[in-house]
Chains A and B, each alone.
Chain A
Amino acid sequence: MAFNLESSNVATRENRIGSITGYIGSLSDLANQSKCGTLKGCSRCFSQSSSCLSTCALNQLSAIRDVAIIHHGPAGCSVAGANAYYLDKVMARKRGVTTSTVYVGTDMNENDTIFGSAESLRKIILEVNRRYSPKAIFVSSSCATGIIGEDIDSIVDDVKTEIDVPIVAVHCEGFKSRIWATGFDISDHAVLSSIVKPPKQKRNTINFKNFYESARPEIIEMFKNFDLEPIFLYCNSTVEELSRLSESLATTCICGTLGNYLGNGLEEKYGVPYIRTINPLGIAGFEAWLREIGRVTGREAAVEKYIEEQRAVYLPQIEEIKKELKGLRAVLGMGPGYTFEVSRVLNELGIEVVWALAWHYDKKYENGDVPPSMQYLLENDVDFEASVADQQNYEVMNILNQYQPDLYLSRHPGSTVWAIKNGTPAVYVADEYMIFGYKHTLEFAQSVLDSIHNRSFEKNLARRVKLPYTDWWYQQNVDKFLEEAKTNGKVVG
């Protein structure tokens, strides 16, 4: 696709790459329909709350050091600033750096919805700039400012003459998309359009998009073997670092959903190759990913040597633990950047996936291809029941109740507790590096084992609590509220 960095607006995932949030069927059907272009998402006539794209967009941007986020809207929108403040402080401290990033709101009230508040916003931007001298300023809209037609682009243009750092409008109306991952694209778009500069010189760096950089030290060590230096984004990034992303040898990402916009944008605009393999989770993923980095950067031999050494250390241990995992049945619910990757790893470890839920599904990535994780599963004849649901917990519970798996794996805050109330052991795959490479694949296998070895916590709790869903719901098909579902996927009981 063509990236238009002149406009501050990004089309939603639904419109840009045909992403969906409603589907029930099987993995192979989902993939085949994606390929032949017949996949159409369903809507629901009943849903539970999910997430806001502004959280994804602005959390990403507020993780950059020494910048300002100005969230123009009522106090509930900018409340994410409280958590951003905490995260920025603890993440900077962990890394041994400091940050003075601020995330402020504008506490919009009823009068503002009638008369607008362009002048107030202008003053607020200037005051934030005066107080904190940020290295970049991101001015975000909200549902309320979007609907009343507050023209934040003009306000931002207007103050540009008075502010000598990059300042950009970020369009975060929550109603635009049911796919909160659209927010990742919005943040990437803001960085690409306002901060990244054309390259001056190529460097031996790799742009590494991730969330909270927990594996940063070990990845730096690993890349030393290949004379490569990773630049982790956006947590603890500096504006200066971001301005030079175009000078890197390649861009990679720990999660395809998180990084595909930036990766493709850098490739299209500046010719920085984007690594499009399956993700570095599990053995096959890690090796395919590392080999591609080796190929793109011309370091094949060093990569092969590294793989060989690491295999010798870890594969025997992984083979050993697989014996204990064999035969376990799992249900998982994650963003699509993880669901189909983790499914592959579970398959690698001998754990049977009985149902996989993806919180949304991208039919294709920016380059038009079916996501590589799906491609891999199809080529390896892995199939299971699958659905797409934007964290619709009642559907998850219906599935868990019906399948009674040995474990439930999920990646979003507040999701694991429902499985354990059902008596199902849950593994919280929160850290994006939890299954990274050989070492963490082994650790992941061990934590799955630990989770099912002691089921006291969930059994104790499940015995005492009542689930909030009615018996009626548990007797329904999981696709009960999906409109048009029956014409798309197979009906499941």
Chain B
Amino acid sequence: MAKLLDKQRYKCALGAMQTVQAISRAIPILHSGPGCAQKLSDSIGSSGYFSPNIFPCTSINEKDVVFGGVKKLETTIENALKVIDADLYVVLTGCIPEIVGDDTGEVVSHFEDAKKPVLYASTAGFKGNNYRGHEQVIDAIIEQYLEKTDEKEEGLVNLWADVPYQDLFWLGNIRELENLLKEIGLKPNTIFGYQRGLENIKTIPKAQFNLLVSPWVSVGNMKKMERKLGIPYLHYPTLPIGAFETSKFLREVGKFAGVDDQKVSKVIDDHENYYYYLIERYADLFLETRVMAKQFSVVADAQYALAITKFLVNDLGLVPAKQFVTDDTPKQFREAIRKEFENLNYGLKAEVAFETDSYKIHQEIKEHDYHGYPLILGSYYEKELAEELFGHYLNISWPVQDKVVLDDFYVGYTGGIRLIEDIYSVAVQRWN
């Protein structure tokens, strides 16, 4: 049912055009109105090999609404194959063709024998948000392109984590997760970012297992791959930030993959030694920043709300006030995510609200007593609120206007240090 979406923090399913854009040399073809791509793109970091203003689009008009737009879709795909130099074309539908009943799948099937693969995902805006759209695109790849194989590659792991572009740190995070997996002797395979494209997609069926690092996004994709391709999966619900969670993550992944314990322990020791060398040098800053309370709130999608809560509690010893998950998490996942928020060191439990109405979020933050200057990590919408509360603020979730990130990341040991740098770069600007 329609609801009041006040200060919205996600896009619609067609926002998954950014998921396609994140696959190197893959291009979305939009069967939609002329301006959907422009609306759903972010103006920062979009001018890659392909950018939203060159995504082919049927630019549906009034006539197409009445008579259907399948003919236009046919010529758009046909000519996109001629004009655009891509490896993979993914047709995405907007609201209009799905309401008026265009048979997009049928049109796309005419291109089964095209020189390049042409896939199709149903991503009408009213079908859900861009987190769901992201899953739709991966489902389309699994259903329409991948085939089961008996040819398995030892140690090969398909790695899935963030929703590209919606997550500010998607590129850096996935590269750092790859690095960590390589260090314990695994061969990570991902499909997003620099030099990751169709070849990586083709490699997916050969993996020993799928590793999903996310509270809920792509769980359905993992199940689909398990059924269709016979690939088992490990669902690790917390994006590991900082030493505590990253070491736990490596142990769990190592165990699932059958990696030698000692090898994993050695990797962990090396990282933790350096990590605590840094922490030791800066511990005085953390302890003696008088202008920061011990309490914090994160306003973000489930991925970041959970990851940062765990990091600030388990690594830095802060105490969680209420946390806010804003991605419209499907109901069936909420209980498990809530349990994760309650699984913190020293029996601490973080109260969590699944809330998409930012007015209510802001009311709750205003009413909470943080016992000092609060630390608020959230979207750009929290900037002014934090100022009103004399709090510290960091823009870590969409929409982002306060930070430019090229390939920075918060994941892993190094990522934890980066997050600390960012938080205290804000705190030290105020007289201590």
Pick the 3 closest A-B CB pairs, nearest first: A52-B35, A76-B12, A74-B125
Q: Is there an interface contact between A473 and B99, defined as CB atoms closer than 8 Å?
A: no
Contacts of B125 in A (CB 8 A): 73-77, 108, 144
Say how far A466's CB is from chain B's closest CB, in angstroms.
Answer: 7
> Does B1 make an interface contact (CB < 8 A)?
yes
Q: Please state if B7 and A85 are interface contacts (CB–CB under 8 Å).
A: yes
Q: Which residues of A, 118-163, contact B by the 8 Å Cβ criterion?
A: 120-121, 124, 127-128, 131, 142-144, 147-148
- For chain A, residues 257 to 283, give those with C-beta under 8 angstroms from any C-beta of chain B: none
Name which residue of chain A comes closest to B81, CB basis: A470
Q: Which of B39, B59, B127, B380 contacts A80 (CB 8 A)?
A: B39
Q: Is B35 a contact of A104 with CB atoms below 8 Å? A: no
Query: How big is the B interface, by class?
Result: 35 or more
Kindly list 4 other residue pairs between chains A and B, CB separation below 8 angstroms, not including A109-B128, A414-B46. A79-B12, A82-B8, A104-B7, A120-B1
Which B residue sits closest to A420, measured CB to CB? B47
Question: Is B95's beta carbon under 8 Å from chain A?
Answer: yes
B85 in contact with A469 (CB, 8 Å): yes
Mark contacts of B183-223 with chain A using CB atoms, 8 A cut-off: 1 yes-contact digit, 0 otherwise: 00000000000000000000000000000000000000000
Q: Whole-angstrom distance from the CB of B366 to the nearest CB of chain A?
A: 14
**Could you count the A-B residue pairs with CB atoms below 8 Å apart for me: how many are there?**
242
* Partner-contacting stretch, out of B48-56, B317-325, B404-412: B48-56
In the complex with contacts A106-B3, A109-B1, A147-B100, A178-B59 CB distance below 8 A: yes
Q: Is the CB of A393 within 8 A of B53?
A: yes
Interfacial chain B residues near A48, Cβ < 8 Å: 53-57
- CB of B87 to closest CB in A, whole Å: 11
A72–B53 Cα distance when bound, in Å, is: 25
Question: Roughly how many angstroms separate A57 CA and B138 CA in the complex, as a whole number?
Answer: 34
Interface of chain B residues 318 through 351 with chain A (CB within 8 A) = 328
B binding-site residues for A, Cβ under 8 Å: 1-15, 27, 30, 32-41, 43, 46-47, 49-62, 64-65, 72, 75-76, 79-80, 82-86, 94-96, 99-100, 124-130, 328, 356, 359, 380-381, 383-384, 398-399, 401
> Which A residues touch B7, using CB under 8 A?
81-82, 85, 102, 104
- Are B50 and A46 touching (Cβ within 8 A)? no
Cβ–Cβ contact A105 & B8, under 8 A: yes
**Residues of chain A contacted by B9 (CB below 8 angstroms):** 82
A204: Cβ under 8 A from any B Cβ = no
Known: A52-B34, A144-B126, A394-B54. A413 touches B83 (CB 8 A): no
Q: Which of B9, B46, B49, B126 has the most CB of A within 10 A?
A: B126
Known: A80-B39, A117-B1. A74 touches B380 (CB 8 A): no
Contact of B83 among A49, A143, A176, A472 (CB under 8 A): A472
B49 contacts A110, C-beta separation under 8 Å? no
A47 touches B76 (CB 8 A): yes
25 residue pairs of the A-B complex, CB under 8 angstroms, read A45-B76, A48-B54, A49-B37, A51-B35, A52-B33, A55-B38, A74-B95, A76-B11, A77-B12, A78-B5, A79-B15, A79-B40, A86-B399, A107-B5, A107-B8, A110-B127, A120-B2, A127-B4, A143-B96, A148-B99, A174-B34, A178-B61, A413-B43, A414-B53, A468-B85
In the bound complex, residues from chain B placing their C-beta under 8 Å from that of A106 are 2-5
Contact pick for B129, options A75, A83, A120, A469, CB 8 Å: A75
Q: Within the assembled complex, what's the spacing in Å between the Cα atoms of A118 and B224? A: 37
Find chain B residues with CB under 8 A from A177 CB: 61
With beta carbons under 8 angstroms apart, the residue of B4, B39, B126 that contacts A79 is B39
Q: Is the beta-carbon distance between A45 and B53 smaller than 8 angstroms? A: no
Q: Which residue of the partner chain A has the closest CB to B363?
A: A131
Assess the A89–B384 pair: CB atoms within 8 A.
yes
**Contact present for A391 and B12 (CB under 8 Å):** no
Residue numbers in A under 8 Å from B82 (CB-CB): 470, 472-473
Mask: chain A, 395-429; 1 = CB below 8 Å from B; 0 = not: 00000000000000000011101100000000000
Chain B, Cβ-Cβ closest to A105: B5
| Contact between A51 and B126, CB atoms less than 8 A apart | no
> B124 to chain A: which residues have CB within 8 Å?
74, 110
CB distance from B191 to the nearest CB of A (A): 19
- Least CB separation from A53: chain B residue: B35
CB atoms of A76 and B99 under 8 A apart: no
Pairwise interchain contact B2-A49, C-beta atoms closer than 8 A:
no
B83 x A174 contact (CB < 8 A)? no
In the complex, the answer to whether B10 meets A75 with C-beta atoms within 8 Å is yes
B35 touches A75 (CB 8 A): no
Separation in Å of the A149 CB from the closest CB of chain B? 11
Q: How far is the CA of A391 from the CA of B14 in the complex (A)?
A: 21
Contacts A144-B95, A470-B85; A393 near B54 (Cβ below 8 A): yes
Most B Cβ at <10 Å: residue of A74, A177, A417:
A74
> CB within 8 A of B359: which of A47, A85, A113, A131?
A131
Q: How far is the CA of A481 from the CA of B84 in the complex (A)?
A: 14
Q: B72: which A residues are within 8 A, CB to CB? A: 45
* Residues on A with beta carbons closer than 8 Å to the beta carbon of B85: 466-470
Enumerate chain B residues within 8 angstroms of A180, measured Cβ to Cβ: 34-35
